[in-house]
Amino acid sequence: AEHQHARYNPLRDDWVLVSAHRVKRPWQGQLEKPPPEDVPRWDPNNPLCPGATRANGEVNPQYEGTFVFPNDFPALQPDAPEPDDSDHPLFRAAPARGVCKVMCFHPWSDLTLPLMSLTEIRAVIDAWAELATELGASYPWVQIFENKGAMMGCSNPHPHCQVWASSFLPNEARLEDQTQRQHLSQHGVPMLLEYAEQEAHRKERLVVENTDWLVVVPYWATWPYQTLLLPRRHVCRLQDLSDSERDSLASIMQRLLIKYDNLFEVSFPYSMGWHGEWRGSTVLSFASPPLPAAHAVPVPVAGAPTGPYLEEDCKHWQLHAHYYPPLLRSATVRKFMVGYEMLAQAQRDLTPEQAAERLRSLPEVHYKQRDK
């Protein structure tokens, strides 16, 4: 806890430098503005609100639960043209096709996930699973992610997430696929299933747990209060969860996010996302071996294997969610990934055990609801 050391991240096959003594240094750097507390419940000018008009002229329905619609400014489109053939292996391009969707969690703009009811959070989980099933039928990778707070690049305070489905395997997914596949081959057990069992036993990085799930600050955490949400049984995809597991997932998400908000008594910013089994080992990623000059990059296969083959390919994967919050010392002091982090390797200013203990000790009643 007092001396610098490096920790290995088996999920990414890299290292993080832990320098816990640095958190004691005085801070004279940038201070962030806390998120606004006066977000209106409904704003006709907010394009995510029920009945509002979006940038493309479409009018949202008067939705009362979750609401999914195509992203008006998608990063991926299904009909993108083929890039030109490469004449040299150092100048390569590959096809990138897909679809991007936006999902509103709730019709109220001032109600974030930790303030929603368990029934409302469960509806979000069900909608995630439906989208994963729908888009996973055509695309090998479906990335569900939420950027919460302006500090994490969110341009709209209305509670929502995004879902991008791609014809290729993205870098982070490809790396996790390789490390988990290797671990199963060498040790005979899925990496994150074994890791969850170890953390449940050790408890020093445990934040919250229930019958089906646990949340830990991972041993290799990079962000100050980074957490990893893990199921206790071997499960590959969101849509594979049982009804009871979805209910307990809603509960543990609520408990974690209340603790996050209570840490600095602010609507806690983060980026989070689900990682689950990808559909089809025949799909090419951008990391294929260098091609001879004057050869084009093959087109990734959008269709995915199904049935027994898909189940076989799933064995090394374990469903999990990453939470990456940037706040370090207070609601106004964030962790910057610059300098050494960009040019050498990740570095953190407090140990994962210290972060877990602080989160674990926080109450599970939201600070805005204590008086109630």
Contacts (Cβ under 8 Å, ≥6 apart) of 96? 76, 80, 166, 167, 168
336-343: which pairs have CB atoms within 8 A and are 24 or more residues apart? 336/29, 340/17
Judge whether 340 is annotated as a binding position.
yes
Residue 201, annotated as binding a ligand: no
347 annotated to a ligand binding site: yes
Which residue type, as a one-letter code, is found at position 213? W
Q: Is 335 among the annotated ligand-binding positions?
A: yes
Q: Please tell me whether 153 is known to bind a ligand.
A: yes
CB 96 within 8 A of CB 80: yes
**Is 194 among the annotated ligand-binding positions?**
no
156 annotated to bind ligand: no
What is each CA distance from 2 to 128, 226, 345, in whole angstroms?
Answer: 41, 20, 20
Taking the CA atoms of 19, 25, 29 and 32 in sequence, report the sign of the dihedral they define.
Answer: positive
CA distance 87 to 103: 41
Q: Which amino acid is at 352?
A: P
Give the pair of three-digit tokens for residue 232.
């206790």
Does residue 320 have a known ligand-binding role?
A: yes
Q: Is 207 helix (H, G, I), strand (E, B) or coil?
A: strand
Residue 181 annotated in ligand binding? no
- Answer yes or no: is 56 a known binding residue: no
- Does 371 count as an annotated binding residue? no
Q: Does 23 appear as a known binding residue? A: yes
Burial of 88 (0-12, 13-18, 19+ CB in 10 A): exposed
Angstrom distance (rounded) from CA 77 to CA 321: 26
Q: Please tell me whether 286 is known to bind a ligand.
A: no
Catalytic residues: 160
212 is in an annotated binding site: no
Instruction: Give dist(CA 140, CA 95) in Å, integer.
Output: 14
DSSP assignment, residue 298?
P
Q: Which residues are annotated as a binding site for UDP-alpha-D-glucose?
A: 22-25, 55, 71-72, 147, 153-155, 162, 335-336, 340-341, 347
Binding-site sequence positions: 22-25, 55, 71-72, 147, 153-155, 162, 176, 275, 320, 322, 335-336, 340-341, 347
